[in-house]
């Protein structure tokens, strides 16, 4: 479903992502674990075709990010952490519809989808309210709905709980698990060990642009003889 | 680039901008209210000011000249020529001048009557305050009245010699105006309209451009947008069309402001400068060319504005860059403000902003040279392509898009 081979990104002399390779199977949650500046966001930006790799390849759903970026984009949904990134002067329905239209959905399909999403996220009461008038929780629901309006097979989450309180972070976790239930393939970046442990099937530990370890959580615990993922992370990040 | 995608972005941006109170107030409502208000107030002020300095000009005689005889002489021979001149009798003329109770003091030398009879020049001294407009204007008015009195004396003396006053004017000048009916009568329009239209088209899209790229980056809506299906060119063109539209919306709002001002008080168009706005007889093709030149100028500036907004890391940074752009548009505008249509050279039809101003000046001047207008349109199209290419390059540059 996602195949990353020797993916590299350089900004001048600085190597942000250093020839990383990993695979994510359909319906799997893959966690990219790393400190701030490790290269997680740059990796996700390359997967979402926002950035072009300096070398290497990333193939999503059979489409190469460099040769068929438009097709890649129709198959992905993305959610960023911190601000929800909604258009304040548009209503929730307009925000979601805009992304539906941009992703090639017909007006009728968008209408049906809006109904489904409003019901799924309990947004019926505020679909016609402008985003600026919403509470943080409402905005978050709208952002979730917007990211999956076109029903993408692949979801990319870039530190989605960054800056959120416990309840909001929990909502994000539930949303990610819901995506998994629907069979979506998920890449999820975080620097929180507990979050990664709670959600991910497999993880890749990224440090200074390099993927220093990759595998199932239990597999890694067994390999390093330690039950504490944080200690494994410190050991790997400190050693490399 | 797919037009369908660009149109989706365009429609959304227009909807978004129309709902932005800040943009609607600054780009549409304020010009429609402020322009007529400023013109009417300025027109009224200029007229009031002119009236104040030219009417009820109070003068007084100096203490040395304050005799019944001189008073009678000044009143009858000098001041009676201008009904606006009023002779006052303050106790202390010097103090009255300082306190602005009077505007000018007239001092007539003693023995003036004998000198006049003997044909010897008499001396009249005017005391006034050059630093005060009212006082210096009063001195000019009194000087004119004294000169008129002098002319009367000359005529009397020549007549006494049995000669005709024609000897005072050995050459008679006759002027004949060859300008067409509407030429020259639109001076204020020739000065103001081209400058206003060019400047407004150049800056009208600034609020929209700032909001549509730098604003998106700051609100974190830009990255989700980049992950949707359309390519960057489609996103850019949609935004570019919205900025261009808003450039013209603000121009339309300002022109509507002028029209409202004119409907309320026709004099407001010339800001009280007492000039008539003449009729127009411009060939339709010339009007079409001028409109096309203006549209391409708007598109050129929209390209620059989108490019600067893309380059900026934040909304504030974009505002700073774009305020400099406003300055760049103003310089050629003011540099050519006082040029007459006959002063236009072909080079001016090649330079951005200046070419639009020149085209409108030519139009209002009435003497149309089509090759110059076509040259202006051609160069404008080149500028549109260049600026769009610049905006498009920056919009695709990762280093620029992800500068933060």
* Domain ranges for chain B: 3-42+184-401, 53-168
Whether chain A has a CB inside 8 Å of the CB on B12: the answer is yes
- Strand arrangement of the beta sheet that strand A29-33 belongs to: A76-80, A154-158, A185-190, A29-33, A202-207, A210-216
CATH class of the domain defined by B53-168: alpha beta
Number of domains in chain A: 1
Whether chain A has a CB inside 8 Å of the CB on B220: the answer is yes
Report if residue A50 sits inside a domain.
yes
Higher pLDDT, B224 or B266: B224
CB-based contacts of B89-98 (< 8 A; 24+ apart in sequence): B89/B60, B89/B61, B90/B60, B92/B63, B93/B60, B93/B61, B93/B62, B93/B63, B93/B66, B93/B127, B94/B127, B96/B60, B97/B60, B97/B127, B97/B128, B97/B129, B97/B135, B98/B129
* Pairing verdict, β A63-64 and A55-60: antiparallel
Q: Per-residue pLDDT averaged across B134-154, rounded?
A: 91
Is the pLDDT confidence value at B404 over 90? no
Task: Give me B355's structure tokens.
Answer: 């070419």
- Which residues of chain A make contact with B223, given a CB cutoff of 8 A? 50, 78, 80, 85
Instruction: Inspect the interface and report whether the beta carbons of A102 and B230 lie closer than 8 Å.
Output: yes
Lowest-pLDDT choice from A30-44, B88-102, B361-375: B361-375
Whether chain A has a CB inside 8 Å of the CB on B8: the answer is yes
* Pairing verdict, β A202-207 and A154-158: unpaired
How many C-beta atoms surround the C-beta of residue A148 within 10 A? 22
Mean of the per-residue pLDDT values of chain B: 85
Facing residues of A14 across strands?
A11
Q: Give the distance from residue B22's alpha carbon to the nearest chain A alpha carbon, in angstroms.
A: 12
Facing residues of A77 across strands?
A155
Predicted confidence (pLDDT) per residue in B32-45, tens digit: 888 778 777 776 66
* Gap between the terminal Cα atoms of chain A: 29
Predicted confidence (pLDDT) per residue in A98-108, tens digit: 999 999 999 99
Higher pLDDT, B328 or A121: A121
Nearest residue on chain A to B211, alpha-carbon basis: A87
Burial track B15-27 (b if 16+ CB lie within 10 A, e otherwise): ebbebbeebbeeb
Whether chain B has a CB inside 8 Å of the CB on A146: the answer is yes
Whether chain B has a CB inside 8 Å of the CB on A133: the answer is no
Residue B272: predicted pLDDT: 52
Is the pLDDT confidence value at A20 over 90? yes
Lowest-pLDDT choice from B177-186, B220-229, B343-352: B177-186
Is the pLDDT confidence value at B170 over 70? yes
Half-sphere exposure of residue B211, counting CA atoms within 13 Å on the CB side? 24
Please tell me the distance from the alpha carbon of residue A149 to that of residue B233, in angstroms, as a whole number. Answer: 23
CA-wise closest residue to A189 among A52, A56, A73, A78: A78
Q: What are phi and psi of B353, to 5 degrees?
A: 65, -55
Instruction: Inspect the interface and report whether the beta carbons of B5 and A102 lie closer than 8 Å.
Output: yes
Q: How confident is the model at residue B354 (pLDDT cuts 50, 70, 90)?
A: confident
DSSP secondary structure letters along B194-236: HHHHHHHHHHTTHHHHIIIIIIHHHTT-HHHHHTSSS-HHHHH
Residue B380: predicted pLDDT: 93
ipTM of the complex: 0.91
Instruction: Inspect the interface and report whether the beta carbons of A70 and B219 lie closer than 8 Å.
Output: no
Report if residue A55 sits inside a domain.
yes
Is the pLDDT confidence value at B385 over 80? yes
Q: What are phi and psi of B170, to 5 degrees?
A: -65, -30
Q: Per-residue pLDDT averaged across A116-137, rounded?
A: 92
Facing residues of A60 across strands?
A2, A63
Q: What are phi and psi of A228, to 5 degrees?
A: -100, 110
A21: exposed, middle or buried (C-beta count within 10 Å: 0-12, 13-18, 19+)?
middle
Higher pLDDT, B234 or B268: B234
Please tell me the distance from the alpha carbon of residue A148 to that of residue A113, in angstroms, as a whole number. Answer: 10
Is the pLDDT confidence value at B279 over 70? no
Most confident of A101-105, B53-57, B255-259: A101-105
DSSP secondary structure letters along B111-171: THHHHHHHTPPP-EEEE--TTSHHHHHHHHHHHHHHHHHHHHHHHHHHHHTT--GGGG-SS
Whether chain B has a CB inside 8 Å of the CB on A151: the answer is no
Residue B146: predicted pLDDT: 92
Q: Identify the residue among B24, B229, B235, B315 best suited for mutation to test binding to A, counting A beta carbons within 10 A and taking the highest.
A: B229
Instruction: Inspect the interface and report whether the beta carbons of B16 and A73 lie closer than 8 Å.
Output: no
Radius of gyration of chain A (CA): 18
Instruction: Inspect the interface and report whether the beta carbons of B20 and A89 lie closer than 8 Å.
Output: yes
Q: Tell me, yes or no, if the pTM score tops 0.90.
A: no
- Which residues of chain B make contact with A48, given a CB cutoff of 8 A? 226-227
Tell me which residue range forms the domain holding A39: 1-75+155-160+185-240
Task: Give me A43's structure tokens.
Answer: 């990796």
Report if residue A145 sits inside a domain.
no
Q: Per-residue pLDDT averaged across B11-19, rounded?
A: 93
Higher pLDDT, B22 or B378: B378
CATH number of the domain to which A232 belongs: 3.40.50.300
- Which residues of chain A make contact with B242, given a CB cutoff of 8 A? none
* Pairing verdict, β A14-24 and A2-11: antiparallel
Nearest residue on chain A to B15, alpha-carbon basis: A90
Is the pLDDT confidence value at A213 over 80? yes
Is the pLDDT confidence value at A73 over 90? yes
Q: Per-residue pLDDT averaged across A139-166, rounded?
A: 90
> What is the percent of chain B with per-residue pLDDT over 90, rounded to a whole number?
34
Q: Identify the residue among B7, B16, B215, B228 best suited for mutation to test binding to A, counting A beta carbons within 10 A and taking the highest.
A: B228
Query: How many A×B Cβ pairs under 8 Å?
Result: 72
CA distances from B173 to B170, B176, B346 (A): 10, 10, 35
CA-wise closest residue to B313 among B207, B226, B400: B400
Residue B186: predicted pLDDT: 63
Whether chain B has a CB inside 8 Å of the CB on A84: the answer is yes
Please tell me the distance from the alpha carbon of residue B62 to that of residue B313, in angstroms, as a whole number. Answer: 71
Whether chain A has a CB inside 8 Å of the CB on B3: the answer is no
Whether chain B has a CB inside 8 Å of the CB on A88: the answer is yes
- Which residues of chain B make contact with A89, given a CB cutoff of 8 A? 16, 19-20
Is the pLDDT confidence value at B176 over 70? yes
Whether chain B has a CB inside 8 Å of the CB on A162: the answer is no
Lowest-pLDDT choice from A116-120, A124-128, B246-250, B281-285: B281-285
Give Cβ neighbours of residue B223 (< 8 Å, ≥ 6 apart): A50, A78, A80, A85
Longest dimension (CA), chain B: 102
- Which residues of chain B make contact with A146, given a CB cutoff of 8 A? 224
- Tokens 């001041």, residue located: B79
Is the pLDDT confidence value at A6 over 60? yes
Instruction: Inspect the interface and report whether the beta carbons of A76 and B227 lie closer than 8 Å.
Output: yes
Q: How confident is the model at residue B3 (pLDDT cuts 50, 70, 90)?
A: very high
Instruction: Inspect the interface and report whether the beta carbons of B224 and A73 lie closer than 8 Å.
Output: no
Residue B270: predicted pLDDT: 59
Is the pLDDT confidence value at B275 over 60? no
Q: Per-residue pLDDT averaged across A125-152, rounded?
A: 92
- Which residues of chain A make contact with B399, given a CB cutoff of 8 A? 11
Report if residue A240 sits inside a domain.
yes
Q: Give the distance from residue B341's alpha carbon to the nearest chain A alpha carbon, in angstroms.
A: 47
């Amino acid at each position: 479903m996602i195949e990353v081979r020797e993916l590299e990104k350089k900004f001048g002399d600085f190597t942000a992502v250093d020839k990383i390779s990993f695979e994510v199977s359909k319906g799997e949650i893959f966690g990219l674990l790393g400190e701030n500046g490790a290269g997680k966001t740059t990796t996700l930006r390359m997967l979402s075709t926002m950035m072009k790799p300096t070398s290497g390849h990333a193939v999503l759903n059979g489409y190469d990010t460099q040769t068929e970026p438009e097709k890649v984009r129709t198959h992905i949904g993305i959610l960023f952490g911190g601000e929800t990134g909604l258009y304040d002067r548009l209503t929730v329905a307009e925000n979601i519809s805009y992304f539906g239209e941009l992703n090639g959905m017909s007006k009728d399909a968008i209408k049906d989808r809006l109904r489904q999403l409003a019901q799924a996220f309990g947004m019926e009461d505020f679909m016609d309210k402008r985003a600026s008038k919403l509470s943080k929780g409402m905005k978050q629901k709208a952002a979730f709905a917007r990211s999956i309006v076109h029903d993408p097979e692949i979801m990319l989450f870039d530190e989605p709980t960054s800056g959120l309180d416990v309840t909001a972070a929990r909502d994000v976790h539930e949303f990610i698990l819901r995506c998994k239930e629907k069979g979506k393939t998920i890449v999820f970046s975080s620097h929180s060990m507990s979050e990664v442990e709670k959600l991910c099937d497999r993880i890749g530990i990224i440090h200074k642009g390099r993927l220093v370890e990759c595998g199932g959580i239990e597999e890694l615990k067994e390999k390093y003889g330690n039950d504490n993922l944080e200690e494994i992370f410190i050991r790997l990040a400190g050693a490399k | 680039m797919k037009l369908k995608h660009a149109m989706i972005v365009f429609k959304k941006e227009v909807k978004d901008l129309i709902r932005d109170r800040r943009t609607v107030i600054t780009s549409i409502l304020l010009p429609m209210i402020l322009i007529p208000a400023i013109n009417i107030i300025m027109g009224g002020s200029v007229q009031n000011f002119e009236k104040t300095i030219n009417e009820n000009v109070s003068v007084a005689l100096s203490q040395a000249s304050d005799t019944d005889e001189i008073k009678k002489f000044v009143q009858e021979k000098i001041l009676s020529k201008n009904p606006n001149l009023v002779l006052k009798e303050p106790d202390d003329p010097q103090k009255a001048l300082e306190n602005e109770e009077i505007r000018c003091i007239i001092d007539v030398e003693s023995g003036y009557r004998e000198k006049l009879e003997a044909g010897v020049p008499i001396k009249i001294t005017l005391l006034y305050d050059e630093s005060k407009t009212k006082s210096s204007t009063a001195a000019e008015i009194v000087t004119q009245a004294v000169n008129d009195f002098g002319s009367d004396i000359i005529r009397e003396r020549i007549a006494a010699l049995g000669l005709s006053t024609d000897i005072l004017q050995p050459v008679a000048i006759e002027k004949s105006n060859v300008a067409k009916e509407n030429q020259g009568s639109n001076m204020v329009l020739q000065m103001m309209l081209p400058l206003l239209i060019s400047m407004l088209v150049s800056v009208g899209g600034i609020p929209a451009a700032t909001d549509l790229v730098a604003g998106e980056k700051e609100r974190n809506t830009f990255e989700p947008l980049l992950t949707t299906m359309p390519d960057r060119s489609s996103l850019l063109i949609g935004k570019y069309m919205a900025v261009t539209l808003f450039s013209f919306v603000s121009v339309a709002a300002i022109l509507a402001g002028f029209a409202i001002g004119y409907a309320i008080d026709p004099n407001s168009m010339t800001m009280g400068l007492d000039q008539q706005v003449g009729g127009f007889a411009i060939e339709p093709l010339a009007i079409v060319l001028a409109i096309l030149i203006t549209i391409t100028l708007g598109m050129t500036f929209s390209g620059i504005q989108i490019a600067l907004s893309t380059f900026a890391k934040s909304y504030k940074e974009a505002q700073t860059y774009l305020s400099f752009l406003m300055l760049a548009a103003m310089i050629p505008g003011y540099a050519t403000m006082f040029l007459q249509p006959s002063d236009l050279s072909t080079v001016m039809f090649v330079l951005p902003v200046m070419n639009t101003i020149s085209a409108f000046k030519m139009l209002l001047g009435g003497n149309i040279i089509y090759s110059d207008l076509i040259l202006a349109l051609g160069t404008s199209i080149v500028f549109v392509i260049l600026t769009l290419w610049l905006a498009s390059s920056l919009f695709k540059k990762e280093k620029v898009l992800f500068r933060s």
